[in-house]
C-alpha cells in the first residue's frame, strides 16, 4: 500500500484539528474525502487539505457516499458520541478500515453490534484513545511492567477538565456535549483515564473488569456558570436550565484479578486540567499529577512529599531507562501536532498496523469495554451507587488472549 487514502467523517473541533495538525502532515496519508452534516465545515477542511497537500478531497453531507474502496482505504470517524458507532459499523461491514474517536456509550446493545460487526468482517479497527500514547502513562506503565512497583493493586485516573464554557456555548458552536449535560448523569468520558489503565492491567488479555459502582455529586457548576455569565452567553435559553449531570462522578471498578480502578469525571467546576494517572503496587507508585515516583524505602522521595513539596517531578530521572524510544526522539512537529505528541503517535500506530497487516494496538474489545462504563455508571448512579456487572465483550476469550506490548506503534 502506498499512501493510505483517508476519509474523515465529522469535522467539528476534533475532526478539523486532527485533519489540520496530524493527517495532512503524515506522509503516509492522503485525505481523499471529507464529510460533515454542515457544508461550511467541509469547505474549511477541504481548504486546509488543498493548501497543505495540494489535492481536492471529495466533500459530502452523507457519510454513506464515502463507502467506496475506490475513494478511500480507511476512514477516521470523529462525529458525536451518539452517532459514531453506527457510522463505524457501516464502514466495517463494507470492509473499510476504521479509526474511531473516543467517547462513552449509553447503549450496551450498540457496543455488542460493534463487536459483532468486527468479528463478522475482521475489518481493521482501531479505537483512537490518544492517552494510551501519553508520555506519563507510558512511563508509569513500563515501570509497572518491569516490576518496579511490585505487584499492582490499584490504579486511578481522572478526566479533570473544566468544560463549562464548551458546554454552555454548545448551541452556537453546534457541539453535542450540551444536550448530554442537560439530560444525562453518568461517567460520560471514561476512556482517557481508563484506556491506559486497562492496558496496564491487561484488561481483555488475562484480566477483565467485572463490576462497578458510580456515585455522582449534585449538579451546581453549570447552573452557577450560566448565572454568572448571563450577559456574555448568547444562548439565553440556558438561564434557569436544569443540568442533570453531576459535577463530580466517582466510579470504582473491580477487576477479576483483584485490582481496583478508581475514576473521576470532573468537568463542571473551576480547575486545571489533569488526568491524574496513578499506579500503586506493593513496592511503590507513580502519580502523574506530581510526576512523582515513590519506591518503598526511598527516603529522599519520601521527604520531598512529606516536608517541602519541592523537587516534585522526580520521575524525570527514570525517563532514560523506561521511556519508550519514540518519546525520547519526539520531534518539534510531533509535539505541536496535538496533545503534546500523543495524537501524532496514535496515527502512526494506526498506519503502521494497517500497512503491515498487524493487529491494531487498541482493538474493538478495548473500545467496547471502555465505552460501556458510561451506560453502566448511569445505571449505578440511578440506583444510588448499586454495583453493576460489566459485560465480557470477548465472550471468554480474554482468558487466553496474550498481553500486548505497551508501546503500540
Ligand atoms: N481524543 C481526544 O483527545 C478528543 C478530543 C476532542 C474530542 N474527541 C472526540 O471526538 C469526537 C468529536 O468531538 P468534537 O469535540 O469534535 O465534537 P463536535 O460536535 O465539534 O464535532 C462533531 C462533528 O460531527 C458531525 N457529525 C455528527 N453526526 C454526523 C454524521 N452522521 N455524519 C457526518 N458528520 C456528523 C457534526 O456536524 C460535527 O461537526 C467525540 O467522539 C469526542 O469524544 C476526542
Give yes or no: residues 181 and 262 share one domain: yes
> Which of 130, 165, 191 is where one domain is finished?
130
Question: Taking a C-beta distance cutoff of 8 angstroms, is the pair 149, 201 a contact?
Answer: no
Give the C-alpha separation, 3 to 351, whole Å. Answer: 10
Does 89 share its domain with 230?
no
Q: Do 138 and 49 lie in a common domain?
A: no
What is the 318 CA–ligand 1 centroid distance (Å)?
Answer: 37
- Ligand 1 pocket residues where CB is under 6 Å: 9-15, 35-38, 41, 63, 78-81, 83-84, 87, 101-103, 130, 175-176, 339
Pairing between strand 29-35 and 58-60? parallel
pLDDT band at 409 (very low <50, low <70, confident <90, very high): very low
Residue 39 belongs to a domain? yes
Residue 348 covered by a domain: no
Q: Which of 98, 130, 162 is the last residue of a domain?
A: 130
Q: How far from chain centre, in Å, is Cα 250? A: 18
Residue closest by Cα to atom 11 of ligand 1: 78
- Give the 3-state secondary structure of residue 138: helix
The answer on 84 and 224 residing in a single domain is no
Same domain for 266 and 157: yes
Q: What is the CA radius of gyration of the chain?
A: 21
3-state secondary structure of 275: coil
**Are 63 and 148 part of one and the same domain?**
no
The verdict on 155 and 280 lying in the same domain is yes
User: Distance between CA atoms of 348 and 394, rounded to whole angstroms?
Assistant: 26
Nearest-angstrom CA–CA distance, 131 and 133: 5
Cα–ligand 1 centroid distance for 58 (angstroms): 19
Q: Which domain holds residue 267?
A: 132-327+363-399
Strand pairing category for 152-160 and 260-266: parallel
pLDDT of residue 67: 98
Of 301, 307, 270, 300, nearest in space to 287 by CA: 301
CB of 226 closer than 8 Å to CB of 239 = yes
The tally of domains found in the chain comes to 2
How far is it, in rounded angstroms, from Cα 288 to Cα 290? 5
For 156-178, how does the pLDDT look when each residue is reduced to its tens digit (9 = 90+)? Answer: 999 999 999 999 999 888 888 99
Pocket test for ligand 1, best of 80, 90, 161, 371 (most atoms within 8 A of CB): 80
- At residue 350, does pLDDT exceed 70? yes
Max avg pLDDT among 167-171, 175-179, 338-342, 378-382: 378-382
User: Is residue 319 domain-shared with residue 199, that is, in the same domain?
Assistant: yes
**Measured between alpha carbons, how far is residue 60 from residues 31, 43, 64, 147 in Å?**
13, 10, 9, 51
> Based on the domain organization, do 175 and 313 belong to the same domain?
yes
CA distance 268 to 286: 27
Q: How far, in Å, from the CA of 83 to the mean position of ligand 1?
A: 9
Same domain, 146 and 109: no
Q: Are residues 93 and 201 in the same domain?
A: no
Which phi and psi (to 5°) does residue 234 adopt? Answer: -70, -40
Can you give the CATH number for the domain in which 30 is found? 3.40.50.720
CATH code for the domain of 166:
3.30.360.10
Q: What is the pLDDT of residues 182-235, one digit of tens each?
A: 999 999 999 999 999 999 999 999 999 999 999 999 999 999 999 999 999 999
> Ligand 1 centre from 78 Cα, in Å?
4
Structure confidence by residue, pLDDT tens digits, 230-283: 999 999 989 989 999 999 999 999 999 999 999 999 999 999 999 999 999 999
User: Is pLDDT at 313 greater than 50 in this prediction?
Assistant: yes
| Nearest protein Cα to ligand 1, atom 38 | 12
The answer to whether residue 107 sits within a structural domain is yes
Distance CA 32, CA 5 (A): 6
pLDDT band at 406 (very low <50, low <70, confident <90, very high): low
Residue 339 covered by a domain: no
Amino acid at each position: 500500500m502506498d499512501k493510505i487514502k483517508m476519509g474523515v467523517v465529522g469535522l467539528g473541533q476534533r475532526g478539523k484539528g486532527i485533519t489540520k495538525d496530524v493527517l495532512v502532515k503524515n506522509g503516509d496519508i492522503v485525505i481523499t474525502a471529507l464529510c460533515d452534516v454542515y457544508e461550511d465545515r467541509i469547505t474549511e477542511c477541504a481548504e486546509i487539505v488543498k493548501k497543505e497537500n495540494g489535492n481536492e478531497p471529495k466533500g459530502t453531507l452523507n457519510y454513506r457516499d464515502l463507502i467506496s474502496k475506490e475513494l478511500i482505504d480507511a476512514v477516521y470517524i470523529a462525529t458525536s458520541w451518539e452517532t459514531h458507532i453506527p457510522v463505524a459499523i457501516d464502514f466495517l461491514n463494507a470492509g473499510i478500515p476504521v479509526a474511531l474517536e473516543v467517547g462513552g456509550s449509553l447503549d450496551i446493545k450498540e457496543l455488542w453490534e460493534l463487536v459483532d460487526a468486527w468479528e463478522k468482517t475482521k475489518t481493521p479497527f482501531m479505537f483512537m484513545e490518544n492517552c494510551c500514547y501519553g508520555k506519563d502513562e507510558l512511563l508509569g506503565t513500563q515501570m509497572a511492567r518491569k516490576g518496579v512497583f511490585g505487584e499492582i493493586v490499584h490504579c486511578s485516573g481522572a478526566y479533570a477538565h473544566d468544560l463549562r464554557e464548551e458546554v454552555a456555548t454548545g448551541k452556537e458552536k453546534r457541539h453535542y456535549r450540551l444536550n448530554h449535560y442537560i439530560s444525562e448523569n453518568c461517567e460520560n468520558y471514561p476512556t482517557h483515564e481508563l484506556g491506559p489503565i486497562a492496558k496496564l492491567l491487561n484488561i481483555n488479555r488475562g484480566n477483565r473488569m467485572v463490576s462497578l459502582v458510580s456515585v455522582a455529586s449534585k449538579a451546581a457548576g453549570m447552573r452557577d456558570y450560566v448565572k454568572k455569565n448571563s450577559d456574555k452567553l448568547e444562548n439565553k435559553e440556558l438561564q434557569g436550565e436544569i443540568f442533570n449531570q453531576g459535577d463530580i462522578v466517582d466510579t470504582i471498578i473491580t477487576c477479576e484479578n483483584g485490582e481496583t480502578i478508581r475514576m473521576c469525571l470532573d468537568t463542571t467546576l473551576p480547575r486545571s486540567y489533569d488526568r491524574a494517572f496513578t499506579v500503586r503496587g506493593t513496592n511503590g507508585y507513580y502519580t502523574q499529577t506530581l510526576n512523582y515516583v515513590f519506591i518503598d524505602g526511598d527516603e529522599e522521595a519520601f521527604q520531598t512529599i512529606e516536608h517541602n513539596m519541592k523537587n516534585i517531578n522526580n520521575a524525570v530521572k527514570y525517563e532514560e531507562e523506561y521511556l519508550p524510544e519514540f518519546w525520547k526522539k519526539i520531534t518539534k512537529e510531533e509535539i505541536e501536532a496535538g496533545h503534546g505528541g500523543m495524537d501524532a503517535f496514535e496515527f502512526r500506530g494506526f498506519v503502521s498496523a494497517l500497512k503491515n497487516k498487524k493487529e491494531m494496538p487498541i482493538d474493538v474489545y478495548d473500545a467496547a469495554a471502555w465505552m460501556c462504563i458510561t451506560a453502566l455508571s448511569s445505571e449505578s448512579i440511578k440506583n444510588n451507587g448499586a454495583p453493576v456487572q460489566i459485560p465480557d465483550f470477548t465472550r471468554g476469550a480474554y482468558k487466553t488472549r496474550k498481553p500486548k506490548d505497551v508501546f503500540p506503534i
